[in-house]
């Protein structure tokens, strides 16, 4: 019994996300790279996207179900792309324009309303513009941006392949 191509695509996306989240966990626990608030939001978007890919791979949805799984996957892939893009932009700002050191995300969630926390997090801080890790001369935020673009393409791909069949 073989899986239809759209379910294989979802399974591949889920496995990629599992590897990315494992890498983030490894970098945090082994290398001591603490995530900034924007990194945490990217991980949340990645985890939610992983849930949709997992559901798409596991459950044999009809056409309508595939549409909604794909739609939500596209939304969270776009959200992750925007958050990662924001962090890349902050990392490329001159240090003089981004010198505000903010409170931790955990503290802000305890003290402030959620909409204020999101506003402050998306505004960014010096913590979010710091580059702690690089691979092939790209920062973790830049790799995250590239991965979210790829996952966005995977989110769109099953929709296109199901129309062809």
The domain tally of the chain equals 1
Structural domain includes residue 128: yes
With 0-12 / 13-18 / 19 or more C-beta atoms within 10 angstroms meaning exposed / middle / buried, residue 106 is exposed
User: Comparing C-alpha atoms, which of 72, 74, 53, 67 is closest to residue 162?
Assistant: 67
Structural domain includes residue 164: no
Structural domain includes residue 12: yes
Tokens 């240090």 sit on residue: 95
* pLDDT tens column, 46-102: 999 999 999 888 887 777 878 888 889 999 999 999 988 888 888 777 665 554 545
Structural domain includes residue 88: yes
* pLDDT tens column, 2-27: 556 778 888 898 999 999 999 888 88
Structural domain includes residue 165: no
User: Comparing C-alpha atoms, which of 12, 91, 89 is closest to residue 54?
Assistant: 12
CATH of the domain at 65: 1.20.1550.10
* pTM (predicted TM-score): 0.73
Instruction: Give the residue numbers spanning the domain of 39.
Output: 5-159
């Amino acid at each position: 019994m073989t899986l239809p191509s759209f379910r294989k695509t979802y399974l591949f996306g889920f496995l990629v996300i599992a590897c990315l989240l494992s890498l983030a966990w490894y970098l945090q626990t082994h290398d001591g790279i603490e995530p900034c608030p924007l990194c945490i939001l990217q991980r949340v978007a990645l985890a939610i996207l992983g849930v949709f890919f997992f559901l798409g791979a596991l459950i044999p949805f009809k056409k309508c179900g595939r549409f909604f799984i794909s739609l939500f996957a596209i939304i969270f892939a776009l959200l992750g792309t925007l958050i990662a893009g924001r962090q890349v932009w902050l990392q490329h700002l001159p240090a003089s324009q981004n010198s505000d050191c903010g409170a931790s995300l955990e503290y802000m969630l305890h003290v402030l309303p959620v909409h204020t926390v999101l506003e402050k997090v998306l505004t960014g801080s010096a913590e979010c513009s710091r580059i702690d890790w690089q691979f092939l001369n790209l920062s973790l935020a830049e790799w995250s941006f590239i991965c979210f673009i790829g996952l966005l393409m995977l989110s769109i791909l099953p929709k296109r392949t199901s129309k062809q069949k």
